[in-house]
Amino acid sequence: MNNRRNPLAALDGDEPVAALAHRPSRAKRNRQWETENNDVVTYRAPGLKAINARLKRYAHRHSIATIGEAALLVLETGLTVLENKPQAAEYHA
């Protein structure tokens, strides 16, 4: 037999338990990082979940430690191709 006390035993099963109300945060957003790193590019767009999944598979397949490193490799390789083959840039324009 279990001798531990059930903290919910006193509640009537037919009564709903009141949920805690969400209080919006009053914290001010610190934009210092954004002003210091305004040359950093981040993307949030439809379709990026599929690209993220492809990057995860690529990183795993090639034993790359993080998705960020895989993304950097893909960007560097893609930029090198675009810089060295002008016809590749025309294809995607």
| Interval 2-60: pLDDT, tens | 667 766 666 666 555 556 666 777 888 777 877 787 776 777 778 888 888 999 999 99
Which pLDDT score is estimated for 44?
76
- Rg (C-alpha) for the chain, rounded Å, is 26
Question: Rounded distance, CA 60 to CA 56, Å?
Answer: 6
Distance CA 51, CA 35 (A): 28
Task: Kindly state the helix (H) or strand (E) to which residue 60 belongs, with its residue range.
Answer: helix 48-61
Please write the tens of the pLDDT for every residue from 8-23.
666 666 555 556 666 7
The kind and range of the H/E element at 37 are none
